[in-house]
Amino acid sequence: MDMNSFGIGEWWTKPENFNAPLVFYLEEELEQIIFGQEDRYLRCIEEHSHTLIQLESWFTVTGHTRVTVVGPPRARQWLMGIIWLLEQRNFHYQARGYQMLQSVRSQPLTNKDLAASLNVQLDSLVVKGYQDE
């Protein structure tokens, strides 16, 4: 598979992948779900998603972790999709988020993975739009 087709081949050599890092906060419980106890899955998620991820614990009442992600934009978007899905109350969205999480833990992302993530996000926006009316 040609990883350059979505900007992943030797992504660390491209300055644009370090512009505007993705920065967000996770509750400690969700951090444990995604990255595992003592960040067990952090390295494989980074390698398989072709990103660098920095986790910083913040001493807040709810125990938030500040997450900074750099890498190809589509890979960052894919990781954000996992988080969005896992935060939802809808069982089907959560199940899709867990499926994506298991995928990135076990194998490198492909074009098909990235396209599927975008479709899930677009579908969820359409559903949300109908719910808001």
Residue 5 pLDDT greater than 50, yes or no: no
Q: State mean pLDDT over 74-91.
A: 91
Q: Tell me if 51 is assigned to some domain.
A: yes
| 3-state SS assignment for residue 60 | coil
Average pLDDT on 70-76 reads 91
Domain total in the chain: 1
Residue 7 lies in a domain: no
Is residue 8 situated within a structural domain?
Answer: no
In a domain, 100, yes or no: yes
Asked if the structure places residue 132 within a domain, the reply is no
Q: What is the mean pLDDT of residues 2-25?
A: 77
- Evaluate if pTM is beyond 0.85: no
For 116-126, the pLDDT digits (tens) are: 765 655 555 54
Residue 57 belongs to some domain of the structure: yes
Within 8 A by CB and 6+ apart from 47, the residues are 108
Distance CA 70, CA 17 (A): 6
pLDDT tens digits, one per residue of 51-60: 999 999 877 7
| Residue % of the chain over a pLDDT of 70 | 79
Q: Give pLDDT, residue 115.
A: 76
Is 36 domain-assigned?
A: yes
Confidence of residue 61 (pLDDT cuts 50, 70, 90): confident
CA atoms within 13 A on the CB side of 30: 19
Which domain does 110 fall in, by range? Answer: 15-127
Beta strands in 58-121 (DSSP E): 64-70
**Residue at 38 is within a domain:** yes
Q: Mean pLDDT of all residues in the chain?
A: 82
| CATH code, domain carrying 59 | 3.30.1370.10
